[in-house]
Amino acid sequence: MAENVDEGNENDFKENDNVSQENENLRRNRPFIEYFKQEAKILREQGKKVDRIKLGKCFKNLSEEEKAKFRMVGSDIAWNKDKEDDFVKGTQKAMETRCAPDRFAKLVAKLSENKKKAVVELGFESLLHIKCGRLKRDLCSWLVQNFDPFTSCIFLHGKSINLSPRDFEYIMGIKDGGVDIDVDLDIDDIDKLKNEYCDDSGYIKLKTLESKLVNQREVNDDFKRSFVLFAIATIIFPKSGLNLAPYYLVFLKDTSAINKKNWATWAFKGLVEGIQKFKAGQHKVVNGCVLFLEVIIFF
């Protein structure tokens, strides 16, 4: 999906909750819109002139990682309820998901700069910029129903759009590092980590991770594992349970290799499989990053 920068009139950059065709460009250019708004605000506060053409050129010169900071910020466009009712037509199968960008964003807001720096080194900088609030369940339910897990195609605005891990990587900013994630490795090899992270039930409690990430001062391997575990449970690959199984610790044992994992492929395949099992009636909860579907409608 190519970045499309519109250097039009400043009034074009105002947020609009109308989900009609005339706003396609607005949604597609959301990263630049957010960049323009932030930079224009700074210039005005400094008493300087806002040069839209210059800002457009500056945005084009940003790296993909720098542009990614503005993708997630703009995903929480005000959604008009009447328009949503018109948009989400028909009877949808009730959908539940553990994907919780609002909970994740609240945690990130409490992290120190040193902790955020460690997250960047792990390869998850884009997650620090998630500010999209709670998922719009009706919209997400409609998107799930319009996604074909066998072809990885979603049907929007009368068009069939083929999705892939590359789209997940582009939109969510979560990258593939080259090494596949294997959850079937020998779990007995992590007995020490299981004793450290699991409670008496044998599971990793999300609330425990949350408290540890906020209150722990030292930014060490424990912090890095805890952050990734929390991100998996709330954003990257949330599943039906409230807590995490210990097998995730297998591929988080070596924290120096975390940024080398194929996170985008793993998360995308997990979402596709989650939707497939949900539609087949095997699961009552949609496993995977449902946030990806909500965000993609604005691209």
* Bridge partners, 179 (sequence order): 261
pLDDT at position 22: 38
Q: What are the two backbone dihedrals, phi and then psi, of residue 72, each rounded to the nearest 5 degrees?
A: -75, -25
Predicted confidence at residue 76, as pLDDT, reads 44
Question: 299 to each of 26, 95, 220, 233, how far by Cα in Å?
Answer: 9, 23, 37, 25
Domain extents in the chain:
1-80, 93-299
Q: What integer pLDDT is reported at residue 48 of this predicted model?
A: 81
Q: What is the pLDDT of residue 1?
A: 44
Q: Where are the beta strands (DSSP E) in 90-248?
A: 147-148, 153-156, 159-162
Element (H, E) at 209: helix 206-215
Kindly give the confidence (pLDDT) of every residue in the chain, 299 residues in length, as a single tens digit, with 9 standing for 90 and above.
Answer: 433 333 334 443 343 333 334 344 444 455 666 777 778 778 777 778 877 778 777 877 887 666 666 655 544 433 444 444 444 444 455 678 999 999 999 999 999 999 999 999 999 999 999 987 888 888 899 999 999 999 999 998 788 899 999 999 999 999 999 999 987 766 667 888 989 999 988 999 999 999 999 999 999 999 999 999 999 999 999 998 888 999 899 889 899 999 999 999 999 999 999 999 999 989 889 999 999 999 887 76
What pLDDT score was predicted for residue 3?
39
